Structure 1
Amino acid sequence: MFELLLTAPQSLVEPVSEALMNELEALSVSVEDADADTEAEHALFGEPGMPPPRAGWDRSTLKALFQTEAQAEEAATLLLAQEWAQGLGVQALSAVVEQDWVRLTQSQFSPVAITPEFWIVPTWHEVPEEARAVIRLDPGLAFGTGTHPTTRMCLNWIAQQAPALSSSWHRVLDYGCGSGILAIGAGLHGGQHIDAVDIDPAAVESSALNAQANGVTLNVGLPDLAQGEYPLVLANILAIPLKLLAPVLCGHVAEGGHLVLAGILERQAAELQQAYAPWIALEVSNTDDGWILMTGQRRA
């Protein structure tokens, strides 16, 4: 394969990217800040759930991959000849060293310890000797591989509370299940009749496959699958949708049941407490890298 590096002002990033992918046979196109690691660098990332502060970088580097050198050269020639492409520049054209991309990707994911005895282990890794409960989970399309603080805190709560509470978890709801990791974790720690719901069909499919791979039975589907009350309700989403879902989620918590919420930044704690106050008093149960876990119990 061959890589073509182009520099473009913000106004050309989208049309050039579309031309590369749709008309010039590029296998892929990625966009990076051309001023990265300099004083002119500007971050584009906003807070979770909020739009980015700006649409794009002033100058971007476009990296386009082609099957052959001739295709890359032709693409560069045709783009530079377009009147609308004023300001576009060619940085380099070079061969890409062949690598075992599967092995390289797998090397970036290692087993994750939730507790000393509860681990998340990719299928290509050996299970640690000390592990007593294991979720086998590979990176996929749906959110939730166990590496994010919000996921770890939810799973840790499940594992720590299970000895005292799992006998009451005859129904469990994972709302916004993503990969199904929280629902599976609850199933491995005594949860029964577990409903895992998400608005994303890809998440529904991913949860079903992951549950089957881990020998856990889940009822997986869209949000209307969730019916009635549950002694345990889990929701690892983001603060804004969690606020909007407050009456829905609290309506699913049985008397004396527990609500576990994640996807919340430390500075958002008061907002969530206020949103849920009419039904359940939330408290911060754990913190990790700026994220918090909030839990509450519905009065019996």
Structure 2
Amino acid sequence: MHELVLRAPEALVETVSDALMLELEALSVSVEDADADSDAEQALFGEPGMPAPRPGWQRSTLRVLFPDEAQATEAATLLLAQDWAAGVHVQGLQPVPDEDWVRLTQSQFTPVEITPAFWIVPSWHEPPAGAQQVIRLDPGLAFGTGTHPTTRMCLRWIARQAHGRSAGWTRVLDYGCGSGILAIGAALHGARGIDACDIDPAAVVSTEANAQANGVALQAGLPDVARGSYPLVLANILATPLKLLAPLLCGHVAPGGDLVLAGILERQADELTEAYRPWCTLAVQDHEDGWVLMTARFDR
């Protein structure tokens, strides 16, 4: 494997990246600030899970992987021959040491503690001593491996509330289920009648596979799978869609039920409170690394 290193101005980053991936058969393209760790470094801030505010930095470094040196050289030659690529420059071409990529990737995903008794454990690890509830989950295409604070907070809430409330979790809705991790966590803590939905068909497939791997029963599908009222409604998405979904989500919470929302930055908590005020009173129940968990109890 060989790495081609290019320098490109911001205006050309997206065009060059598309040409490399779609036409020149690059294995991957990563974009970095060419002025990183200098006085000219520029930070790009964006909300997690949303598109970047700009395609690149004023001066961007593109690191491009190819299977071999010949393909990398040919790609560089073809790219620089284009009239529109006048601002692109080759910075280097070097071999990339062979790695056991499977083992390397697996080493980055270790068991995640939710509570001392509740863990998320990849299939290649043994559960830690003392783990009483374990979700077996490997990294995949859908969001939710337990490494993100929003996922951990939701699972922590489920684990802490289960002792007193799981008997009433006769129906549970996981809206925007991703990998299905919250639905699975609820099932392991006594919930029944679980519906998990997502707008992404790949997430539905992932949820079904992960549920089967963990031996739990649930129904996964697109959003129309959510019908009727539920004693527990979980939604770990992002603040903007959560605001838009306020009437829908609140309409699914049964009297006396709980609404649990995540994907919310600390600075967005007041916005969510206002958006949900016509239906319920949201309150921050947990916070971690700049994110908050908000819940509401729908009194009978």
TM-score w.r.t. the length of structure 1 is: 0.96
Name 2:176's counterpart in structure 1: 176
| Rounded Cα–Cα distance in structure 2 between residues aligned with 1:16 and 1:291 | 35
Q: Residue type matched to 1:85 in 2?
A: A
The alpha-carbon distance between structure 1 residues 80 and 218, as it changes in their structure 2 partners (threshold 3 A), is same
CA contact (8 A) 1:282 1:295 kept: yes
> Which digits, 9 at most, give the CA deviation of each residue in 1:159-209, with x for residues without a partner?
111010000001001011010000000000000010001111111111110
| Rounded Cα–Cα distance in structure 1 between residues aligned with 2:109 and 2:179 | 16
Name 2:270's counterpart in structure 1: 270
Where structure 1 has 5 or more consecutive residues not aligned to the other structure, the ranges are: none
Q: Residue 248 of structure 2: SS of its match in structure 1?
A: helix
Name 2:7's counterpart in structure 1: 7
Question: Post-superposition, which runs of at least 4 consecutive aligned residues in structure 1 deviate over 6 A?
Answer: none
CA deviation after TM superposition for structure 1 residue 273, in Å: 1.4
CA contact (8 A) 1:173 1:232 kept: yes
| Rounded Cα–Cα distance in structure 1 between residues aligned with 2:73 and 2:290 | 47
Residue 220 in structure 1 maps to residue 220 in structure 2: yes
CA contact (8 A) 1:49 1:239 kept: no
Q: How many residues align?
A: 300
Name 2:99's counterpart in structure 1: 99
| Rounded Cα–Cα distance in structure 2 between residues aligned with 1:55 and 1:24 | 20
Name 1:211's counterpart in structure 2: 211
Q: Residue 231 of structure 1: SS of its match in structure 2?
A: strand
> Which digits, 9 at most, give the CA deviation of each residue in 1:99-146, with x for residues without a partner?
001111111111011111000001111111200000000111111111
Moved more, 26-35 or 116-125: 26-35
The alpha-carbon distance between structure 1 residues 104 and 237, as it changes in their structure 2 partners (threshold 3 A), is same
Where structure 2 has 5 or more consecutive residues not aligned to the other structure, the ranges are: none
| Rounded Cα–Cα distance in structure 1 between residues aligned with 2:248 and 2:103 | 43
Q: Residue 259 of structure 1: SS of its match in structure 2?
A: strand
The alpha-carbon distance between structure 1 residues 264 and 4, as it changes in their structure 2 partners (threshold 3 A), is same
Correspondence 1:27-106 to 2 at 5 A: 27-48=27-48, 52-106=52-106
Name 1:191's counterpart in structure 2: 191
Name 2:163's counterpart in structure 1: 163
TM-score w.r.t. the length of structure 2 is: 0.96
The alpha-carbon distance between structure 1 residues 274 and 113, as it changes in their structure 2 partners (threshold 3 A), is same
Supply the RMSD in Å over aligned alpha carbons. 1.5
The alpha-carbon distance between structure 1 residues 248 and 22, as it changes in their structure 2 partners (threshold 3 A), is closer
Q: Residue 293 of structure 1: SS of its match in structure 2?
A: strand
Name 1:20's counterpart in structure 2: 20
Residue 109 in structure 1 maps to residue 109 in structure 2: yes
